Amino acid sequence: LPNRHYLDILDQYDPKGEGEVYIYSESNSFESFDEFEERGYHLVLDGLLEDAWAGIMSSDVVITSRSSFSLIPAILSKGKVIYTPFWHRPLAHWDIVDDAISEKSDQATVEVLPDQCPPWHHAMDWESLPTNV
């Protein structure tokens, strides 16, 4: 999901920017983390899984991505969870990201896909495939 997805959610839930925000991610990203740094958010990049999950589980508020990486610690979290819809269902007491934010994020994702995820048939080395299968 694009950074704007999380920034829009943070703007909705913390409009005055008073919360202490931690971003758990990998440094290899199709977007820079500059906007998060400019807001004074803490970046935790390329850390250990157990450290990230411990941080997420102990947070007062968790914003999930569309991944099991954030879903698992969110399930175990005692804090408020803001769930971004994907194929795993949310728990009944979780907040769901507004449709407008999700739709905006979906559109932004579709726009960057051609540059970030080349079609598999272009990336595949067809000549190395076995011919007797």
pTM for this prediction: 0.79
Could you list the beta-strand ranges (E) of 26-76. 42-45, 61-63
pLDDT at 127: 58
One pLDDT digit (tens) per residue for the chain, 133 residues: 889 999 999 999 999 989 999 999 999 888 899 999 999 999 999 999 999 999 999 999 999 998 899 999 999 999 999 999 988 999 999 999 998 988 888 887 777 666 666 665 455 554 565 555 4
Query: Structure tokens of 98?
Result: 């507004």
Longest CA pairwise span in the chain (Å): 63
Residue type for 11, please?
D
